[in-house]
Amino acid sequence: MYCDLHIHTTYSDSSLTPKEVVEEASRIGLTTIAITDHDTVDGIPEAIEWGKKYEIDVIPGIELSTDIGREEVHILGYYIDWENEQFNRRLHEFKISRQKRAHLIINRFKKLGIEIDYKRVALLAGEGIIGRLHIANVLKEQGVVASIKDAFSEYLNYGGLCYVEKFRLTPEEAIEMIKCVGGIPVLAHPYHNRYNNLIPKLIKVGLEGLEIYHPEHSLEIQLYYEKLARDYRLIPTGGSDCHGTMKGGEILLGNAKVRDEIVKRLKRFNQYNQK
């Protein structure tokens, strides 16, 4: 019984709707999935509804984007109270900030003589939050870049020609936000940033898990973080970080997964927190 605990939908920066995520999860035999859209919970109710029809357990989650200096650090939250009004007000502020950022980025491209159709960017985002990945896809469509990776390295990453600062949230603040709505905070794809020295600091403010199984983590890296999780008594989690086809290539859903025992451990921890 396998589970994928890191999945995005069209409500953030994936090409798959919540319904399509559930359908694909059912097709490949997953028993549990977690919807972890970037800075939004809008896709959760639809996923839960379809999960009931396909008999797939849907964990309400989120992936909050935070910053340390010039680097992004992502914090996953599992079993969050996604209907909490104060939590949703804060997420709405993030959404407005992302929209403003998208306009600023597009204006920077305009100064370089590159016209980007904001309506096309908004169409790709649909009802979700506009992100740099949507802009990168439009750049690729227009032939400005050869790949999504090139769009980020040349234009959209820190130091790129059209990079614009976003709202700044610290990992500590993200952990506090997640814990305030009853969630379990987990450090996402730690090898991506290699901030291993950050882990003890985040444990002190409430970090409870470490994402070990991820498409970017080799077996050697997995073994390293498995030991780290044991040493720090963190819950090991994992998932495909599926964005559909938005990053190019295959869909990835289920490419990295965990056994059902991990979900049971998360559930036990969540039940303990509720007491």
pLDDT tens digits, one per residue of 46-70: 999 999 999 999 999 999 999 887 7
- Phi/psi of residue 21, nearest 5 degrees: -60, -50
Q: Would you say 240 and 252 are in contact if contact means Cβ atoms under 8 Å apart? A: yes
Among candidate residues 56, 67, 24, 61, the one with its CA nearest the CA of residue 41 = 61
Domains 2-90+168-274 and 92-156 share a fold: no
Query: Smallest Cα–Cα separation from 41: which of 76, 82, 8?
Result: 82
The region of weakest confidence among 125-129, 229-233, 237-241 is 125-129
Residue 62, beta-bridge partner list: 77
HSE, CB side, 13 Å, CA atoms: give it for residue 166.
25
Q: Write the pLDDT tens digit of every residue in 13-30.
A: 899 999 999 999 999 999
Mean pLDDT of the chain: 92
Question: Which tokens sit at 169?
Answer: 């949230």
Mean pLDDT, residues 151-174 taken together: 91
Per-residue pLDDT band for 275 (boundaries 50, 70, 90) equals low
| Stretch 191-216: mean pLDDT | 91
Residue 215 has pLDDT above 70, yes or no: yes
Contact, 35 vs 21, CB < 8 A?
Answer: yes
Of 195, 199, 196, the closest CA to residue 186 belongs to 199
Of 98, 75, 27, nearest in space to 190 by CA? 75
pLDDT at 20 (0 to 100): 97
Delimit the domains of the chain by residue range.
2-90+168-274, 92-156
- Please name the fold of domain 92-156: DNA polymerase; domain 1 (1.10.150)
- CA-CA distance, 228 to 200, in Å (whole number)? 10
Task: For domain 2-90+168-274, say whether CATH 3.20.20.140 is its number.
Answer: yes
- Separation in Å, CA 89 to CA 94, 95, 175, 184: 9, 10, 17, 20
Tell me how far the alpha carbon of residue 213 is from its chain's centroid.
14
Q: Which residue has the tokens 């059902």?
A: 260
Q: What is the Cα–Cα distance from 227 to 126, expressed in whole angstroms?
A: 41
Beta bridge partners of 63: 38, 76
Per-residue pLDDT at 129:
77
pLDDT digits (tens, 9 = 90+) for 88-147: 999 999 988 888 999 999 999 999 999 998 889 988 888 777 889 999 999 999 999 999
Amino acid at 30: L
Rounded-to-integer distance, Cα 261 and Cα 258, Å: 8
